[in-house]
Structure 1
């Protein structure tokens, strides 16, 4: 939807540009996230995924003049959404580099960290980014356009075993083995450089609801292109050094793999589930984190009606104990 500069939006606010504010991305679980962070007016906070700046604006409203917000985003489009606010430090990098860039800005520890791991509405709605099954465009899916690997290269170069693994693990595609075998065979006769070409390539093996199937396939490719699981693990492991005792972390996930990583880290300080499952293993590790909510927070009926993309969102909030 195009909105003229200064036009009044449905929520009564003014739109500065078509890509700013609510039009760029509707922040999910907004109130629950801001409340969960328990923001101190003079605190230092990190938004790992600035995007349209929705959650960041909520944090800034709670901060006083001496507070600070460090916003990370590797997507160059996010820069246009930055507020003219001296309390904001913007870092145009992946959040896996959080600790390094906080040190560069002479910040030893922070009072809170937020990571909304969803793809922004803006990215889904821009056909040339290659994230959505709804448009044609390059088979890209790079969050950071500076990196070399894109989805088209994965389809063209990955082995059958590599493709099988990523579709099975990251997309939970029911016939991932068949899909991988078909791609390796089909790419000998045809290229898949665009979304339409790729959809046509795999159409003979699509199972069940085509939209759901393709969404799972695209999710798997996006996660692989952007190394999302590795980046999340690296960021979580840095929290022990980055967050002050008493500080809080809010993680919003959109699929089970992400949620499982966050849950296990806050529970065990690692990503190993076997310790809890094995009654013969005694875990003597001191708990550095306590979940503020035992179960993940999900969207209310009201939010689901306003924003369908919130249906798979889960929020976990944890507090650093020592």
Structure 2
């Protein structure tokens, strides 16, 4: 039986895209297709939907959808692939960040400390180092930096030292249960109701999949691929992602002043109508994984694009 996946902020995200029936839309994280199917319901036969995902299981679902619906194009890659699309070719971009319920609930994927399994954590298990492979060779300083920066974990140094001590005494950490046990022994206090391993697992997953770097690439690419009036919608599930999205939208929704030429008129903003939406109390009650979600949206303006190698005109 496939793990149940409930799409967070489904109606709110699709409404924020302001679907044009003949438009071209991007679902940058197909997952199990909840947002994609809702978008397709609003598209005409001339509309198009391009979906991205790294996860091979998600891609299998997406390919089955594409086989039944010619409007769908599938890209087996992360949403940084937005940068390969033609400029001003898209009417809306949706990014639903983080991991899905099926990924968390599948012990073999190694994303969760709640299910013992191989310590993998890769969005695409066929590419890159697994979490276990990285932990087997990373220095204490590197582990400390990753856990502190990506997990916002104040016990990062003790955790890294405990992992290193375990490696020297008993060999590499290979399973999620082993890592969770090591972290629990190194973290002396934790917020009520929060597992000691939460921040460390988040940090290693983000690092292994280069999630923040890819998010920045996708945000930057969205400014190029969106047509004037196109919509950018991003759903985040932790503060690092949301902070990046918030700052990006704030920065590009203000006139840009060139400090080297203060007398030159500021360049027009590239984004407008920046908004934030949180899940309703009813949705959080029905789906506890929605409780940390934050959705931010913005409209691409008609500001001119920069000339090659230069400043916007």
SS in 1 for 2:60: helix
- Indicate if the aligned counterparts of 2:166 and 2:173 stay in contact, CA closer than 8 A: no
Report the equivalent of 2:232: 249
Report the equivalent of 2:261: none
Identify which of 91, 111, 117 aligns with 1:111.
91
- Indicate if the aligned counterparts of 1:192 and 1:201 stay in contact, CA closer than 8 A: no
1:149-168 matches, within 5 Å, as: 149-168=129-148
How far does residue 79 in structure 1 lie from its aligned partner after superposition? 2.5
Question: Distance in 2 between the 1:207 and 1:44 partners?
Answer: 51
Q: TM-score, normalised by structure 2?
A: 0.86
Distance 1:148 1:301, change over 3 A: same
RMSD: 2.0
SS in 2 for 1:244: strand
Report the equivalent of 1:90: 74
- Indicate if the aligned counterparts of 1:130 and 1:195 stay in contact, CA closer than 8 A: yes
Distance 1:249 1:223, change over 3 A: same
- Structure 2 residue runs of 5 or longer lacking an equivalent are 258-263, 303-313
Question: Distance in 1 between the 2:56 and 2:146 partners?
Answer: 27
Identify which of 226, 247, 250 aligns with 1:264.
247
How far does residue 108 in structure 1 lie from its aligned partner after superposition? 5.3
- Indicate if the aligned counterparts of 1:291 and 1:316 stay in contact, CA closer than 8 A: no
Length, aligned pairs only: 286
1:1-322 matches, within 5 Å, as: 2=1, 18=2, 23=4, 25-82=5-62, 83=65, 84-100=68-84, 102-103=85-86, 109-190=89-170, 191-209=172-190, 211-269=194-252, 284-293=266-275, 296-322=276-302
How far does residue 195 in structure 1 lie from its aligned partner after superposition? 1.2
SS in 2 for 1:187: helix
Distance 1:30 1:283, change over 3 A: farther
Report the equivalent of 2:308: none
- Structure 1 residue runs of 5 or longer lacking an equivalent are 3-17, 276-281
